[in-house]
Structure 1
């Protein structure tokens, strides 16, 4: 801003006053410009402060808000947890009450069952005592009858032993008389009171039976251990057919050639085993346990038997 002042003064003094006034006006103009700039700067600063958010003006506000939110969340969580605990406690209380009622019912049933069981035991014990008495009486009677029967049996056995002794003496006398009789047919051996024919030539079981019949005998039938023991020295370690084979109707049963059932046997260990389901006839090998089952088509020797007569 330029201010011009006209002066009517003349001379040097007038010029100096004019210059001084002009310089003073310039300083005033500069001060006005400086105040104007300061005023504009203050207005801009106020506007900037008004536009800033409250939190920017006050940082502690966010901390307070955050704490309030956390407290609300904690309260909600605590409330939910308390509600769940209350529900759980309620259910537990109901379940406990139900279990207590159930236990009372079970105790009542047990007491009833115990009483009933005691009554049943008492009845059973009474029956058992009665049965024991009856059994004791029966045993006493049976003992008396048994003692009496044993005495009679002993007496009968003594009589039988006497008869057997007499019979043995008679047989001995007869054997002495038979010693003067004709011996067994040619090729036969006299063993005890029978004649035996030992054929070492190997043939099948059916063929051996036919050969024995041709010689007016039968394929050997062992009646007892005594007869087996009498044949073992002659048999040695040879193999001979016996007149014994499985029953066609039941292979677990054995029949002698005369149709009688097997009552005496001397099977070897693990025999008869019917190996390959084809061993249906019996052989003798030698030795006290010498019987074995074998395929009937095998070719081995055979023994024929016939009675020895004078």
Structure 2
């Protein structure tokens, strides 16, 4: 039964990231389309401006000489065609703008997680920032009991870490626990929730160093916003995380 649950969970996560990728790809195509059409509009408007100046000069010449210059007629027709093209492009850009809004809304609706009060949403996850200071074990226990499926913060990409950095700086957190430890096997750090090795790390220079042979848990420094191994009985602020 557990293997079936894991399989289903894997399929759900694959679907979530696959669908999110499709939304982003569609948006990328739309924005490229908007850029191309705007560039064309800009070119047409410049050309139109030059032609109108030229037509104005020809019109004055025609009035002065009492003739209908062939070039004048040709340029006027060109301007009319360009004006029609401008109308078509502006109409299509209105439609593109609607497509962008619809895609943005779909992406938002898809990713929305309905975080509980007090939690902060970022992409697929919800985060609870706690200035309350606990040792590593108590921080892990607190997060595990906070809600179903929660864990102590696990940073898995630089993209997410930049957002976390901002949140910690805003809240004035100096040191924050990360759900990473080598307490079972010195030098081999694993994620506390799964026991697997991290795919992303951001250690400070010369860290981890296991100073005094007693540093087996990981904290994030606000100074430099890098990672450091630390004694697990040290009291630190922490962040609980909920999501895939």
Tell me if the contact between 1:232 and 1:287 (Cα under 8 Å) persists in the aligned partners. Answer: no
Q: CA deviation at 1:172?
A: 5.3
The question of 1:251 aligning with 2:107 is answered no
Aligned to 1:168: 24
The question of 1:268 aligning with 2:204 is answered yes
The question of 1:306 aligning with 2:242 is answered yes
Q: CA deviation at 1:289?
A: 4.8
Looking at secondary structure, tell me which structure has more helix per residue: 1
The number of aligned residues is: 144
In 1, Cα distance between equivalents of 2:125 and 2:239? 12
In 1, Cα distance between equivalents of 2:181 and 2:219? 9
Structure 1 pair 267–182 and aligned structure 2 pair: CA distance change class (3 A)? closer
3-state DSSP class of the match of 2:218? strand
Q: TM-score of the superposition, structure 2-length normalised?
A: 0.53
In structure 2, the gaps of 5 or more residues are 1-18, 27-102
Counterpart of 2:157 (choices 221, 224, 227) is 224
In structure 1, the gaps of 5 or more residues are 1-162
Q: What CA RMSD, in Å, does the superposition of the two structures yield over aligned residues?
A: 2.6
In 2, Cα distance between equivalents of 1:234 and 1:185? 18
Could you report, residue by residue, the CA deviation over 1:85-104 in whole angstroms, capped at 9, with x for unpaired residues? Answer: xxxxxxxxxxxxxxxxxxxx
3-state DSSP class of the match of 2:207? coil
In 2, Cα distance between equivalents of 1:228 and 1:204? 22
Structure 1 pair 302–164 and aligned structure 2 pair: CA distance change class (3 A)? closer
In 2, Cα distance between equivalents of 1:289 and 1:207? 23
Counterpart of 1:235 (choices 157, 165, 168) is 168
Tell me if the contact between 2:207 and 2:229 (Cα under 8 Å) persists in the aligned partners. Answer: yes
Tell me if the contact between 1:191 and 1:231 (Cα under 8 Å) persists in the aligned partners. Answer: no
Q: TM-score of the superposition, structure 1-length normalised?
A: 0.42
Larger radius of gyration: 1
3-state DSSP class of the match of 2:180? strand
